[in-house]
């Protein structure tokens, strides 16, 4: 494929492909490479991306078939000979019966070293002679299946993969790729037994059981990945199914908001000022529009010493603050009682109610959808700064959801909210993108018409893919009155923050800890921080 075409598609390959293959061969030794990369012989198939995931063992490749007009995500792993497969099955069967009780307390690195030792001991004591490459291949699959995610390990390692979905037996697994969107993979489970075993293992990884009597699983793995699965053909007729939402180790930051064009530097500076001055915010949008990512990005502007309490069904928010209590819901056991809860169940309402007794400065609720919302708005009305997300595509639909069952929050209480961010998953040109569609201020409540008074501060213009300032911000008016500032002084402060944000973008500071260092420095001494940034002398 021509380099100009690759640039047009935005494809980035960090390491030249020939260097990847060379390193794989060198690490394998003189006897050849551990993993042979299948050659593309069909002239109608183009290679769009080739990425090492766990070199020299596993790689991923995205291709496009000009005949079928389909993308394909290939997980490339070592090919085993019949002899290697037989030995692998023997070793795996032995390990399944002999792994000790202390296995769960070991770190991933310790598990890998333990498994390598077990394989080598097994081969030596049974006098099985294999080439070094064959031993490496067997060790790879043992570690992949016992420590990694088995057949989908390559997909789970890929930072560009957001969701992984299996719809049943004999059906290719699909994934959602940041660059190529929904793609079919070359992985599938051929039998009910294989798929059911994998789903049971997923449940164990989440610390939960899934079976014929309890065939639906909602959980979170120890790594933070969100899992929804069904067992066998009890509720899904094509066989077991699972969907995994990958957890990102590196949280989304304000710099990421700008580099992905989700927001402009001016909007990020506006969020910074809003967060610092305790404005409550709800991020609204459809599924996969990036609501939680935006929420995580703007909460990085919370003052360093503030007490923060977060509540989520699945741990996704990650903050650099020390004074932070992260909370998560948990499911109960047995049948549900009169209150609709199972024994031992802790829901979002319980967490929000408990949080109010802990005197937090900031409350962050992952997503509101039930009776906890009323308590959250009560907290807003009593002065607690609160952030959350919810499924809605406009202020009107947000209000409709909030004031109708099962949430049932009185409209007058909604005036305690200060800002609404509307986020969308839209098409720009040939690409699907995430954009902040509107930033809206809740200015007040009109008792005669029972309507909220709103002011749109920023709006996304889809034809030009740009953000437009609508001319006025009541937040700025509030700060000017509170701090006795002139309009010129307020705009000077705003422009300084835009300058700091642009500096972070220019330096590509996407590590949330380094970014927090700059924000903290600005809180402590804004004048000194600006001077260092202008002189390019700031050390984060």
Distance of alpha carbon 227 from alpha carbon 269, whole angstroms: 35
Res. 10: pLDDT tops 80: no
Does the pLDDT at position 3 exceed 60? no
Q: What span, in angstroms and rounded, lies between the C-alpha atoms of 161 and 154?
A: 10
pLDDT at 513: 87
**What is the sign of the dihedral through the CA atoms of 407, 413, 418 and 419?**
positive
- pLDDT over 80 at 190, yes or no: yes
Per-residue pLDDT at 329: 83
DSSP state of 14: S
Residue 31 has pLDDT above 80, yes or no: no
Instruction: Give residue 400's pLDDT.
Output: 94
pLDDT, one tens digit per residue, over 488-505 is 999 999 999 999 999 999
Please indicate whether residue 401 or residue 337 has the higher confidence score (pLDDT): 401
What integer is the mean pLDDT of 19-25?
41
pLDDT of 11 over the 60 cut: no
Is residue 4 predicted with pLDDT exceeding 50? no
Confidence grade of residue 17 (pLDDT, cut at 50, 70, 90): very low
Element spanning 239, H or E: none
What number is the average pLDDT over the span 12-34?
Answer: 45
What's the average model confidence in pLDDT over 237-263?
A: 92
Instruction: Assess whether pLDDT exceeds 70 at residue 12.
Output: no
Give the C-alpha separation, 245 to 241, whole Å: 14
**171 versus 223: which is more confidently predicted?**
171
Beta-carbon neighbour count of residue 357 at 10 Å? 7
pLDDT digits (tens, 9 = 90+) for 365-418: 999 888 889 889 999 998 899 999 999 999 999 999 999 988 989 998 999 999
pLDDT at 22 > cutoff 70:
no
Residue 171 has pLDDT above 50, yes or no: yes
- pLDDT class of 334 with cuts at 50, 70, 90: low
| Neighbouring-strand partners of residue 175 | 164, 183
What pLDDT, on the 0 to 100 scale, is given for residue 30?
39
pLDDT tens digits for range 458-496? 999 999 999 999 999 999 999 999 999 999 999 999 999
**98-143 confidence digits (pLDDT tens):** 887 678 788 889 999 999 999 999 999 999 999 999 999 999 999 9
Of the two residues 449 and 138, the one the predictor is more confident about is 138
- Averaged confidence pLDDT in the chain: 89
How far apart CA 454 and CA 394 sit, in angstroms, is 12
Q: Does residue 530 register a pLDDT over 90?
A: yes
Strands (DSSP E) contained in 241-391 are 241-245, 281-285, 308-312, 324-328, 333-336, 342-343, 362-365, 385-391
Residue with tokens 């930033």: 439
Q: Say which residue, 389 or 29, is predicted with more confidence.
A: 389
Q: How far apart are CA 268 and CA 301, in angstroms?
A: 10
For 256-263, what is the mean pLDDT? Answer: 95
The tally of CA atoms less than 13 A away on the side-chain side of residue 256 is 17
pLDDT band at 540 (very low <50, low <70, confident <90, very high): low
pLDDT for the residue 333: 66
Confidence of residue 32 (pLDDT cuts 50, 70, 90): low
Distances (CA, A) of 434 to 90, 99, 258, 263, 287: 48, 45, 11, 9, 11
Q: What is the pLDDT of residues 281-328, one digit of tens each?
A: 999 999 888 899 999 999 999 998 899 999 988 777 889 899 999 998
Find the mean pLDDT for residues 57-63.
96
- The percentage of residues in the chain with a pLDDT greater than 70, rounded to a whole number, is 92
- Check residue 429 and give its pLDDT: 82
Q: Check pLDDT > 60 for residue 256.
A: yes
Task: Flag whether pLDDT at 518 surpasses 60.
Answer: yes
């Amino acid at each position: 494929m021509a380099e100009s075409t690759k640039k047009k598609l935005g494809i980035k390959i960090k390491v030249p492909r020939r260097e990847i293959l060379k390193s794989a061969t060198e690490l394998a030794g003189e006897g050849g490479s551990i993993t042979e990369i299948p050659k593309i012989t069909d002239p109608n198939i183009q290679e769009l991306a080739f990425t090492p995931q766990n070199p020299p063992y596993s790689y991923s490749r995205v291709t496009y078939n000009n005949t079928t007009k389909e993308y394909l995500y290939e997980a490339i792993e070592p090919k085993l000979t019949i002899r290697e497969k037989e030995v692998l099955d023997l070793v795996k069967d032995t390990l399944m019966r002999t792994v000790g009780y202390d296995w769960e307390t070991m770190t991933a690195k310790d598990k890998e070293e333990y498994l390598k030792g077990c394989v080598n001991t097994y081969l030596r004591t049974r006098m099985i002679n294999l080439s070094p490459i064959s031993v490496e291949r067997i060790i790879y699959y043992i570690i992949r299946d016992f420590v990694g995610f088995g057949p989908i390990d390559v997909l789970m390692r890929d930072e560009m993969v957001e969701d992984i979905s299996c719809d049943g037996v004999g059906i290719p697994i699909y994934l959602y790729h940041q660059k190529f969107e929904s793609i079919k993979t070359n992985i599938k489970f051929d039998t009910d037994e294989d798929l059911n075993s994998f789903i049971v293992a997923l449940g164990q990884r989440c610390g939960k059981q899934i079976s014929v009597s309890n065939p639906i699983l909602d959980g979170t793995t120890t790594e933070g990945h969100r899992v929804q699965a069904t067992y066998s053909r009890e509720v899904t007729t094509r066989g077991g199914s699972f969907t995994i939402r990958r957890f990102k180790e590196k949280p989304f930051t304000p710099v990421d908001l700008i580099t992905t064009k989700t927001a402009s530097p001016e909007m990020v500076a506006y969020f910074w000022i809003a967060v610092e001055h305790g404005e409550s915010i709800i991020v609204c949008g459809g599924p996969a529009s990036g609501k939680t990512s935006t929420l995580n990005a703007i909460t990085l502007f919370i003052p360093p010493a503030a007490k923060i309490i977060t509540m989520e069904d699945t741990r996704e928010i990650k903050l650099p603050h020390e004074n932070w209590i992260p909370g998560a819901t948990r499911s109960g056991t047995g049948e549900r009682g009169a209150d609709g809860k199972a024994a031992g169940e802790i829901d979002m309402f319980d967490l929000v109610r408990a949080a109010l007794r802990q005197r937090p400065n900031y409350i962050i609720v992952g997503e509101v959808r039930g009776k906890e919302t009323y308590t959250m708005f009560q907290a807003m009305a009593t002065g607690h700064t609160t952030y959350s997300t919810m499924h809605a595509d406009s202020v009107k639909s947000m209000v409709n959801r909030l004031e109708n069952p099962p949430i049932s929050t009185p409209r007058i209480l909604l005036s305690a909210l200060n800002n609404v961010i509307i986020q969308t998953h839209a098409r720009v040109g040939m690409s699907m993108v995430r954009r902040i569609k509107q930033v809206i201020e809740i200015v007040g409540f009109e008792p005669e018409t029972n309507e909220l008074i709103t002011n749109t501060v920023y709006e996304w213009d889809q034809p030009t893919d740009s953000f437009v300032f609508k001319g006025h911000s009541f937040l700025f008016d509030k700060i000017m009155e509170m701090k006795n500032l002139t309009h010129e002084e307020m705009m000077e402060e705003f422009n300084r923050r835009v300058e700091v944000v642009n500096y972070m973008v220019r330096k590509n500071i996407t590590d949330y800890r380094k970014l927090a260092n700059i924000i903290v420095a600005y809180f402590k001494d804004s004048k000194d921080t600006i001077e260092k940034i202008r002189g390019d002398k700031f050390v984060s």
